[in-house]
Amino acid sequence: MGYSEEERAFIEWYPRGYGVGFKVKERLFETQTKYQRLELYQTEGFGKLLVLDGTVQLVEIGEESYHEVLVHPVMLAHPNPRRVLIIGGGDGGTLREVLRHESVEKATMVEIDEMVVEVSRIYLGIDRGAFDDPRAELIIGDGVEYLKETEESFDVIIVDSTDPVGPAKLLFSEEFYRSAYERLNEKGLYITQAGSVYLFTNELIDAYKAMKKVFDRVYYFSFPVIGYASPWSFLVGVKGDVDFRKVDVSRAPEKLYYYDPERHETLFQMPRYVRELLEKE
């Protein structure tokens, strides 16, 4: 796993020998932060590549295929998302997309690794000024602890974390989901990425079952994300009277490249065997 100077390539290896790779022109930056190894590369065809602990976080050209799908379905399904919490997302892409919604009065982002934010702002700039938006609040801290301790409530909670394995497993626990549910308003939506449909199937099923114990309703969907072992899965938890299968197309931001609100129903495609495993009692 990782960068090969000889091959001039970066490859992320998934379970069962499946890999996702990029041809690389040069390594732009590398450091060991307090929490993880951070690398930044210039690829041949996809702009800059951000890597944390050997796993691809995003490529500059195509990152919207993740951030648009993580943000806009829940924002458009909620009738009036005014207060939004983002856990993770240090690169600023999720914050950027959230702030494209005029209804948002405050977007709080809790990122544990300050270095990810700093490097992303200096080298990537995909936040496109979002960190400087007066509606944005950046908190450097542990999202799990923040949810336990805060007295604020939110209309939408978005978890933009690393894969549902290793240290990030806490973000996919029943205890964490209960903390999130309690901090949602009467009508609230929670979304998290949940890993590769084919390669993290067991983790997806475990997270889905844990969420079903907490939320009023739980939805799953998938989308092809550039740089990941697609299709990539997402889980949505509902609190109160919100129908995630319907979105308000009239509130959609202009110039979406990947998520199509007018074809929202296409998100719910899932390979049959995975759907049957998810729905198995």
Q: Cite the DSSP H helix spans in the chain.
A: 64-77, 93-98, 114-119, 143-149, 174-183, 201-212, 272-279
CB 106 within 8 A of CB 84: yes
Angle at 267 between CA 261 and CA 271, to 5 degrees: 165
- What is the distance between the terminal CA atoms of the chain, rounded to a whole angstrom? 37
CA distances from 221 to 63, 73, 155, 228, 231 (A): 18, 11, 21, 15, 10
- Could you give the residue numbers annotated as active site? 160
